[in-house]
Chains A and B, each alone.
Chain A
Amino acid sequence: QKEVEQDPGPLSVPEGAIVSLNCTYSNSAFQYFMWYRQYSRKGPELLMYTYSSGNKEDGRFTAQVDKSSKYISLFIRDSQPSDSATYLCAMTPYNFNKFYFGSGTKLNVKP
């Protein structure tokens, strides 16, 4: 079983739609959870990070963690064409020695 599973998509939505991106994981030692955005041939850019279970909101983005189900989500409200990118989930145990990434979901927001 992979440490982190993420549906690769692609996911195509119309502008203004609510987007839901998800990852599941198997290692109960993961404590910190992150979402990155990556444009083609660029480095990942941190969007959100959360600690343990709960929700965190930042503008149009909401990150959600359910540790009991080993499931994390990123919601994008009022999606824009500029949100078109690959979204990576990542997670790490408490010591931050190693980060585990999902395979990324490619999102296309159509004008």
Chain B
Amino acid sequence: EPEVTQTPSHQVTQMGQEVILRCVPISNHLYFYWYRQILGQKVEFLVSFYNNEISEKSEIFDDQFSVERPDGSNFTLKIRSTKLEDSAMYFCASRPIIAGGTDEQFFGPGTRLTVL
């Protein structure tokens, strides 16, 4: 069964460093999302992406964050200068688009980011 994959599973970085989190969405999906979940807290929407541009972003998604679909398969989240409070689990999700109907959002296993 197709699934969303994410790499790395765990990333440790120093405060102020740049990190890139990678996701491979399900191949026929067209809509992509990034979420984060701070330990013990709710899943928070960061950004949605469709047709090579951002559809919507949250107030968390400031100038330090960017997303890119560099090729036909990868979807990346870049944090330019990490802060301690960026430590969280980051989930990628993808969804197909079915004209006239509902469709499901599938989540990857997540990347645990630890900022020291």
What is A's interface to B at a CB cutoff of 8 Å?
32, 34, 36, 41-46, 49, 51, 88, 90, 95-104
- Asked if B102 CB lies within 8 Å of chain A CBs, one says yes
- Asked if B21 CB lies within 8 Å of chain A CBs, one says no
Q: Are A44's CB and B91's CB within 8 A?
A: yes
Can you identify 13 A-B contacts, CB atoms within 8 angstroms? Answer: A41-B89, A41-B110, A41-B112, A43-B108, A44-B43, A44-B91, A45-B107, A51-B102, A88-B43, A95-B55, A97-B56, A100-B45, A103-B42
- Besides the contacts A96-B31, A99-B105, A101-B45, what 19 more A-B pairs have beta carbons closer than 8 Å? A36-B107, A42-B109, A43-B4, A43-B107, A43-B108, A44-B43, A44-B107, A46-B104, A46-B105, A49-B102, A88-B42, A88-B43, A96-B48, A98-B56, A99-B35, A100-B45, A101-B42, A101-B44, A103-B41
Residues of A within 8 A of B91 (CB): 43-44
In the assembly, what is the distance between CA of A36 and CA of B48, in Å? 19
Residues of A within 8 A of B55 (CB): 95, 97
Tally A-B pairs: CB < 8 A: 54
- Asked if B106 CB lies within 8 Å of chain A CBs, one says yes
Chain B residue nearest to A101 in the complex (CB): B43
Q: Are B42's CB and A98's CB within 8 A?
A: no
In the assembly, what is the distance between CA of A81 and CA of B107, in Å? 24
What is B's interface to A at a CB cutoff of 8 Å?
4, 31, 33, 35, 41-45, 48, 55-56, 58, 89, 91, 95, 102, 104-110, 112
Taking the closest CB of chain B, its distance from the CB of A85, in whole angstroms, is: 14
Query: Given that A43-B108, A43-B109 are known contacts, is A98 also in contact with B45, CB under 8 Å in the complex?
Result: yes
